[in-house]
Amino acid sequence: MKKNVLFKAFSLLVILSFALAACGAPATVATEAPAAEESAATEAPAVEAPAATEAPMMEEVAIRWRTRPDNQEEIDVYSNISTELDAELNGVTLTYEPGGTEGANYQDQLRSEVAAGTAPDVFWIPGTDVADFATRGLILNMNDMATATDGFSVEDFYAGPMGHLTFNPDTATFGADSGALWGLPRDVSTFALYLNMDLINEAGAPDPRELAKEGKWDWDAFLDVAQKTRALGADVYGYGASAWWGPYGVWLNAANGGFFNADRTACALNTPESLAGLDFQRSLYQDFDVATPYGEDPEPTFRAGKVAMFQNGRWATPGVRTVEFEWDVVELPAGPSGTAGNWLFWGAYVVNAKTEHPEEAWALVQALTTAQTQGKVAALGANIPSRVSQEALDAFLTFTPPANNQAFLNGIAADANPTAEGPLWAGSWPEYDQIMGPAIQGVLTGATTVEDFGATICDSADKVFVK
């Protein structure tokens, strides 16, 4: 009987200890923060972080922020940045949350938290999501705070993303005077072709980098290299790309076509230019058989040394750095439009509309997008700073390999006329993508003809636009 009591008491202790441990957690954060502040204050380089408030004796406000990291290295970099900015920003205690787990992807988790009212004060969203968040009143229009901030200018960032981030749906205008600012871009990225130089040399194909320098890197030259490398063996492919809107979109753009009409209010997938671009891409898969099957992940095949040209963004660089063959990058080939039709990918830091501390959150958004902060993230090699700054671009060129980093900068240069990834203010981008993706996959896998695609696609796709 006594032993039973002792056992019960022990069980109770364990349960109690769980509760006490749970209680201990918030306090731990609170007590650890000053220590982090001290170390950051002594070790961090001088970061030009904007001051959240002029009054240093003001009570500390807690700001939670989140961005989607791709790996543990990025989590570490963002955690360090958070610690450093915590020391820089007066009156603010920062908590960085990586977001996304094995069981819930970043966007699902974020949207659930936004719906539940527990989302962080500042968070990152992809460029395509900005309209959905803004029109539903989920993110703050920071225009008034930006206007009152000395030295801030939307022109310090790439024009493409800022066009979308300053779009005012009420007036259908964009730019510094539009009266809207939904966020600031965390970074930018673009496509390049990752080259397996061993395969290209073995096939005796011309070096795409040299062709690009000579201005001869166009679709014909690309197809020539792809065919020569494909001839190396049944299991060797000239070209590989993943199955999402980014890779197939560039072929449409390069042919002077695109997903939407000029003001992004209607489908343009059925224009002759768009269909010509799609037909060329289809021919890579169906007629010339130079590409890894569409819908199959080409990255493992490329890493296995079986793909000569692998189309991917800057974010693939850290992974490619571990391959054992000689590799480099080259810009995408120019299409009939004279340009490669590349994308300018971006995502933005935005402020939760329900934040209790908008001023501090705005200060954090600025601090997270300074050249110095972006330089630290870009040093990992996965992305490009979103500020148009020669200093940032010069620094980016030093983040090698690849040796030809310039290829990425050429992709986002103004004369390359990249198309900025963006939301659909006049419709639903996720629904558009849901209609477009499987239909294009049908064309590229040979199940649907380009003509049939062109005859029907916009009938469905136009329905996602607000009438």
Partner 1 sequence: MSEHQKPDTLTNLILRIAMIWRGVFTVVAAAGVITVWSGRLPEVPLWQKILLSLVLSIAAGFSAFGAVEIARRNHRGRMISLVIDYLAFVACAVMTLNIGEVFIGIDALAETFGRGIPYLGIVLAGYLLSSMDEYSVRKQTSEQSLKQVGRWVMIFGFILFLWQVDTINGVLYFLGKLAQPAGLISVAGMLIFGAALWTVWRQPSAAAMHVKTNHEQVISGWLFLSPNLIGFLIFFAGPLLLSFYFSFTDSDAFNTPNWIGLDNYAKILNIKFVTLSSPTQLAKEVVDIKIYDEVGRMMFGSWGILFAAADKFFWLALRNTLTFVLFAVPFSVVPALILSNVLNSKLPGMKFYRAIYFMPSIAAVVGISLVWQWLYNATIGYINYFITLGIEFWNNLFNLAIVDPKIQWVSDEKTALFAVILIAAWQTMGFNTVLFLAGLQNIPGELYEAATVDGAGAWDKFWGITLPLLAPTTFYVVSTTTIQAMQVFEQVFILMNPPEGPNNSTITLVLYLYRSGFQNFKQGYASAIAWVLFIVIFGLTLIQFQRQRQSSIYES
Residues found near partner 1 in the complex (CB under 8 A)? 3, 6-7, 10, 13-14, 17-31, 102, 107-108, 111, 114-115, 132, 136-138, 235, 237, 242-244, 292-298, 300-301, 304, 306, 428, 430-431, 434, 437-439, 441-442, 445, 447-448, 455-456, 459-460, 463
Nearer to partner 1, 137 or 338 (CB): 137
To partner 1, the closest distance from the beta carbon of 211 in angstroms equals 26
List, as one string, the DSSP characters of 164-188. HHT-BTTTTB-STTSS----EEEEE
Nearer to partner 1, 323 or 409 (CB): 323
To partner 1, the closest distance from the beta carbon of 348 in angstroms equals 18
Q: CA-CA distance, 209 to 352, in Å (whole number)?
A: 44
To partner 1, the closest distance from the beta carbon of 459 in angstroms equals 5
Yes or no: say if 191 and 332 are a contact pair by the CB < 8 Å rule.
yes
Nearer to partner 1, 53 or 428 (CB): 428
To partner 1, the closest distance from the beta carbon of 432 in angstroms equals 10
- What the block records as the tokens of 229 is 């490398």
Closest to 419 (Cα-Cα) out of 246, 291, 235: 246
- Taking CA atoms, 426 is separated from 41, 260, 267, 382, 465, in Å, by 46, 11, 11, 32, 6
Q: CA-CA distance, 288 to 143, in Å (whole number)?
A: 51
- Taking CA atoms, 103 is separated from 71, 100, 330, in Å, by 16, 8, 37
Nearer to partner 1, 49 or 290 (CB): 290
Q: CA-CA distance, 399 to 391, in Å (whole number)?
A: 13
Nearer to partner 1, 157 or 432 (CB): 432
To partner 1, the closest distance from the beta carbon of 404 in angstroms equals 26
Nearer to partner 1, 149 or 265 (CB): 265
Pairing of the two strands 184-189 and 92-97:
unpaired
HSE toward the beta carbon, residue 21, CA cutoff 13 A: 6
Nearer to partner 1, 306 or 357 (CB): 306
- Cis bond upstream, residue 402 (ω within 30): yes
To partner 1, the closest distance from the beta carbon of 38 in angstroms equals 18
To partner 1, the closest distance from the beta carbon of 403 in angstroms equals 27
